[in-house]
Amino acid sequence: SSLVCRIRIKGMTCTSCSSTVESGLQALHGVQRAQVALATEEAEVRYDPKILTYNQILEAVEDTGFEAILIS
Ligand code: 9UX
């Protein structure tokens, strides 16, 4: 089973920023798919809730140096 969450990410100013965030999310154990859109400042992440919580996903984004806020 999997869940999808959407996250607002603040502070990304170029495509390298969004690539860094996206790669970081994709490298997380339990993440099945991650897409980061620079223009909308949003990430969509499909993950296995048995392995990861959305709080851990937010923390992983913040560890890459950007502010992360859960949207849904
Ligand atoms: Mo682009 Mo982002 O030159 O931290 S990588 S601004």
Q: Give the model confidence (pLDDT) of 36-71 as tens digits.
A: 999 999 999 999 999 999 999 999 999 999 999 999
Q: pLDDT tens for residues 3-27?
A: 999 999 999 999 999 999 999 999 9
pLDDT, position 53: 96
Nearest ligand 1 atom to the CA of 15 is: 1
**pLDDT of 27:** 97
The complex's ipTM works out to 0.93
3-state secondary structure of 72: coil
| Domains of the chain with CATH codes | 3-70 (3.30.70.100)
Integer angstrom CA distances of residue 2 from 20, 30, 32: 23, 9, 8
Q: How far apart are CA 18 and CA 50, in angstroms?
A: 26
Look at ligand 1, atom 2, and give the residue with the nearest C-alpha.
17
- In this prediction, residue 34 carries a pLDDT of 98
Protein residue with least CA distance to atom 4, ligand 1: 17
Indicate if ligand 1 lies below 6 Å from the C-beta of 16: yes
pTM above 0.90, yes or no: yes
